A and B are shown apart, each in its own frame.
Chain A
Amino acid sequence: MTDPTRLDGKIAWITGSGRGMGRAHAELMAARGADIVVHDVLQEEAEATATAVRALGRRAIVFHDSVADPEAMRKLVAETRSKLGIIDILVNNAGIGQHLTTEEITPEMFQRMFDIHVKGSFFCAQAVVPGMLEQRSGRIINNSSNWGMVAAPVCAHYCAAKAAVLGLSKAWAKEFAPYNILVNAICPGGVMTEMPIRVQGMEKIRAKEKLVPLGRWAAPEEISYAVAFLAAETGAFITGQSISPNGGETIVGF
């Protein structure tokens, strides 16, 4: 029996893969056989991820454009096609965090939050779907958040953008099911990456970990396992769903 968790021969485009969860996704998926389109506005970080992917014996190409630039995303997909082939897996992972009250959020901050998470995910998907339609197969995994599920008393713009990502996931699951393109969301709880450490600080994070039933935040690769599970043959009957690795912090819905 072939191992259904493998991704041999697949090409995965992971936005925001210069560091944090995106880097962890890239490394795990490369370890399982996928070639990786490393994509991050942070150039050095993206190069470091590509080096890690190549060290695992897989191919990597690197892009730095903003996900919120639809024309650049179309070019990225075309260039990937000529260099590596048709993209099989898109992980819409690029994101930003910002802990602010509603009164503090400027129009520019609001726009940037939605541009990166929602418009970015939308037009990355729009760019990648034609190739998936040609192949009659594809996987799109959108990175939402448990705050997209239950929200939080700060950063309403972030919570709403992550909720919108869940809306896109469900709609695309229905729109693309006839073409065997499966679309799901991941809703991470607390994850120990550079971003929250910078935004919130370690002291605050340690206090928050105590409020998680499992008593801790996740390592980035614990989110990657769920992403890779959905991306592989193991997720072949799963679409329109969300998996929330959150340590029991958020237990809602059905």
Chain B
Amino acid sequence: MTSLAEKTALITGSGDGMGRAHALLMAERGANIVVADINADNAQRTAEMVRKLGRRAHVEQVDMADTAGVKAMVERSSAALGPIHILVNNAGFGQRALLHEVTEEDFDRMFAVHVRGSFFATQAVLPAMKAARQGKIINIASIWGMTGAPVASHYCGAKAALLGLTKAWAKEFAPWNIHVNAVSPGGVRSGGPKKLDNAEQLRLKEEKVPLKRYCEPIEMSYAVAFLASSEADFITGQNLSPNGGEVIVGI
């Protein structure tokens, strides 16, 4: 499968977990990858794996909360691998905290990484996409952005904001044939959940999913890579939620 041949994909947070899985699947399908992560060592490792698949990789160490840094990252990446065709706003983190526990710093960091980071990464890739009159932007939201949860309201709010950006951008950029969609993962067996829950807690959570399991990161990548491909050229402003039936909402 080389459905992404000759494309350049910038994937934020692709040093590990789902982001790395996206990078490897998209590389396998032919894309060159900008591996952006706050952790430079992890980013290097993903880049090496991309190169082993025969694709080019460019590494960027970046904190998505650093707006100037995000802009500079896109400039350097485009110089290294050419104009960005696909942007996956994937960088993120979870934090379990009740409303009264969330500090101003927690709140600002949560929205800075997920929302402001995605906003300005998109702003930075946009001129080249508009010039090319094509582009794919995929925002990684969450089922908790769709339904909320009894903990982590700042996380739920930030992920819901990403869904709002997705819908607005789909409308704003449609005249340039730039497609914007969201992927809202349910439970994924990646490093993030393992930091927040122990094995027994995770097992109990998997039992509550209708399909009785969390998914592997690559199962999320299938959705991202599909939306990034020309097979999804009539899909924009939508939200695809691989969640094992845990969240069935909306119409």
On whether the beta carbons of A170 and B248 are closer than 8 Å, the reply is yes
Q: CB distance B236 to A247 under 8 Å? A: yes
Query: Is the C-beta of A248 less than 8 angstroms from some C-beta in chain B?
Result: yes
CA distance A5 to B28 in the complex (A): 13
Query: A174 and B210 in contact (CB under 8 A), knowing A237-B215, A241-B241, A247-B234?
Result: yes
Contact of B234 among A218, A240, A251 (CB under 8 A): A218
Which residues of B are at the interface with A, using a C-beta cutoff of 8 A?
Answer: 1, 28, 145-147, 160, 163, 167, 170-171, 174-175, 177, 179, 184, 186, 210-212, 215, 219-220, 222-223, 226, 231-245, 247-251
Contact of B251 among A226, A243, A248, A252 (CB under 8 A): A252
**Interface residue range, chain A:** 35 or more
Residue numbers in A under 8 Å from B220 (CB-CB)? 237
Which residues from B are CB-within-8-Å of A213? Answer: 170-171, 174-175, 236-237
* Closest residue of A by beta carbon distance from B166: A251
Flag if B238 contacts A251 (CB, 8 Å).
yes
Interface SS, A side? loop
* Residues of chain A contacted by B237 (CB below 8 angstroms): 213, 248, 250-251
Residue in A closest to B236 when the chains form the complex, CB atoms: A248
Known A-B contacts A239-B244, A243-B235; A253 and B174 likewise in contact (beta carbons under 8 Å) = no
Complex: A189 Cα to B177 Cα, angstroms: 17
- A213-B170, A222-B233, A245-B232 known; A235 vs B222 contact (CB < 8 Å): yes
Indicate if the CB atoms of B240 and A241 lie closer than 8 Å. yes
Closest chain-A Cβ to B145's Cβ sits at a distance in Å of: 8
Q: Evaluate contact between B245 and A239: CB separation under 8 angstroms.
A: yes
Q: Could you say which of A1, A149, A174, A254 contacts B245, with CB atoms under 8 Å apart?
A: A174
Chain B residues lying within 8 Å of A163, measured Cβ to Cβ, are 251
